[in-house]
Structure 1
């Protein structure tokens, strides 16, 4: 049985891309070779991806019950606006421009509240209903996951 050559530098580069972008999987194919790197997703706390080494283990363990309860409550909220895809959230149409919306602002159904970039395509996230944007749970440039709560409209 022959052994396939392993390009350690390519694997390190792909792993670095995963870390920088917040992705959980990446694959590179060329002719007869293929490299696939997969990592476990980082824990999510109140809608933000947290680095695995952000806090010492005892602090993270103590905060886990409160953090687990908050997203579960928000996902069941009738005014929760969730992400329809994995991507990167942007709160303004371009760098330096004013945000689409801010907390406390009144919004109408169908109004664009942010963009999510996925595969170099910017997708408008629109308010599913009118009301007041009471919570904005992402920051501009932050990676988001499918079904993650992005905002709450009451």
Structure 2
């Protein structure tokens, strides 16, 4: 590793944090020789337990500060996923999206579809307003409670 006094390679942790930011992952874990590192966007560090070899391997957990765009994801005006599935921004591939940034939506208007267990579930706007940000990519997997679209 880089420097035995530091114990872990700080460059590796920075590289992993950059991967999180670039790919919009919530966590990433790597294992190299006797070292296992997990970098997570979670608010509190998560510690990994590993089988203890004859010589204990260093285990590190790092909490990555959220980028500026992450602030929008915690916005109270964000529409969150009501289920786990795959989000689709349009009714069919190549079709026009249900909503675009800057569009005005009315309460009950379909803003996207989440496919769950081979069922297409239309997700309605919970309120009328202007779409200020779309936080998911078309055909991206989403988790329950994940922010999808910000409507103000």
| TM-score when normalising by structure 1 | 0.57
Pick 1 or 2: higher relative contact order, CA cutoff 8 A, min separation 6: 1
- Is contact 1:48–1:144 with CA below 8 Å preserved after alignment? no
Asked whether the equivalents of residues 49 and 143 of structure 1 are also in contact (C-alpha less than 8 Å), the reply is no
Structure 2 residue ranges without an equivalent (≥5):
1-19, 30-36, 42-61
Cα drift, residue 80 of structure 1: 1.3
* Correspondence 1:30-45 to 2 at 5 A: none
Q: Map 1:50-129 to 2 at 5 A.
A: 52=28, 64-67=64-67, 70=70, 74-75=73-74, 77-129=75-127
Q: How many residues of Structure 1 are paired with residues of Structure 2 in the alignment?
A: 107
The structure that has the greater radius of gyration is 2
More helix by share: 1
* CA spacing shift, 1:128–1:60, aligned 2, 3 Å: closer
Cα distance in structure 2, aligned partners of 1:150 and 1:46: 18
